[in-house]
Amino acid sequence: GESVGLHLPTLSVQEGDNSIINCAYSNSASDYFIWYKQESGKGPQFIIDIRSNMDKRQGQRVTVLLNKTVKHLSLQIAATQPGDSAVYFCAERVTGIAGGTSYGKLTFGQGTILTVHP
């Protein structure tokens, strides 16, 4: 899961295994969540998102689970491949109201390093 500090959580798996990356989010008012993947030297890339009125959403080889009761988000990657090695981080959106316009900014977690061994 996420943690505060200079050392990111790490997860090492063998190629072909399933991976589960966890995230504890902070704000019970958050209504939208996203998982991003960041490879070395690149910007974060969108993987999958989920709205707060859902508890599960599936994509290609990825599934996001949302447990609002304990404010927990997880990303499951099936049949993990070496190309999945990257830093994964979650983001939550807190919708705020300013000047009559609804604004929503993302707040990002620190990330988890996933290493997939051939």
Partner 1 sequence: DADVTQTPRNRITKTGKRIMLECSQTKGHDRMYWYRQDPGLGLRLIYYSFDVKDINKGEISDGYSVSRQAQAKFSLSLESAIPNQTALYFCATSDPGRGGYTFGSGTRLTVV
Residues that bind partner 1 (CB under 8 A): 5-8, 32, 34, 41-46, 49, 89, 93, 101, 103-106, 108-111
- Sheet strands (E) in the chain: 10-14, 19-24, 32-38, 45-51, 56-58, 62-67, 72-77, 86-98, 101-108, 112-117
Our measurement of the distance from residue 22's CA atom to the centroid of its chain's CA atoms, rounded to an integer in Å, reads 7
Instruction: Select 50 or 77, whichever has its Cβ closest to partner 1.
Output: 50
Identify the CA nearest to 113 among candidates 89, 92, 80, 79.
89
CB of 51 to partner 1, least distance (A): 9
In the complex with partner 1, the residue whose CB is nearer, 42 or 70, is 42
50 versus 116: smaller Cβ distance to partner 1: 50
Smallest distance from partner 1 to CB 101, Å: 8
Mention every residue, 6+ apart, whose C-beta is less than 8 A from residue 97. 103
Smallest distance from partner 1 to CB 81, Å: 22
Please tell me what DSSP assigns to residue 50.
E
Task: Closer to partner 1 by CB, 105 or 117: give it.
Answer: 105
Report, in Å, the least distance between residue 16 CB and partner 1. 29
